[in-house]
Amino acid sequence: MKRGNINKSIAKYILEMIVVLVLVANCYVGLKSNNLQSSASLAKYYAAGNKEAIVNYERNEETDNIMLLSNANLIEDGNITIQNPNEVSMNAVIKVYIERKSNIDVEKLVISVDGLSNAKKDIKVTNNYYIINTKSVFLKPNEQEKYNIKFYYDGEYKDNFNYLLQVESY
């Protein structure tokens, strides 16, 4: 071999050894400063608490034709079940969305959750919907709550109206 090729091989070997030593030192410092443990605990926390609430709604069977009633009577009745699938506590809000183009006067509509009526001042109006916050819920880890929701209407009521129940969890 020529002397120039030997010098290049030695220089390449020395650079490779320096890269290996830097990587070993970086791993050692990373493990000693508990970065790995803190990252693992943070990942576990987000994995344990980043799921949305599981929601189920069922109309009460004995009220099949209930939407035909009028004049300050019950027009809808059902049960909503909210479950926290996380290992940490969560808050949730039960909201009712009613289309603005519907033929119902939202001021005459009373929504009762477990016998408590919604506050009329808690109606938000968007371009397409009336949004009514009906109940705030706090759920412990893996806890499940069931609520009865009833819609009453105080006025002349002839047609069905469409609504959307939504549970926002945070």
Express each pLDDT in 73-97 by its tens digit: 667 788 899 999 888 888 999 998 8
Q: Is the pLDDT of residue 137 over 80?
A: yes
Amino acid at 111: I
Query: Which residues have C-beta within 8 Å of that of residue 37, sequence separation ≥ 6?
Result: none
Average pLDDT for 131-155: 87
The number of beta carbons lying within 10 Å of the beta carbon of residue 64 is: 9
Who has greater pLDDT, 67 or 108?
A: 108
| Alpha-carbon gap, residue 120 to 167, rounded angstroms | 19
Lowest-pLDDT range of 33-37, 101-105, 112-116: 33-37
| Dist. CA 108–CA 103, nearest whole Å | 12
Structure token pair of residue 57:
């709604």
pLDDT the model gives residue 1: 57
3-class DSSP state of 11: helix
Average pLDDT, the chain: 79
User: What would the mean pLDDT of 4-28 be, rounded to a whole number?
Assistant: 86
**Per-residue pLDDT for 70 more than 50?**
no
Model's pTM, two decimal places?
A: 0.65
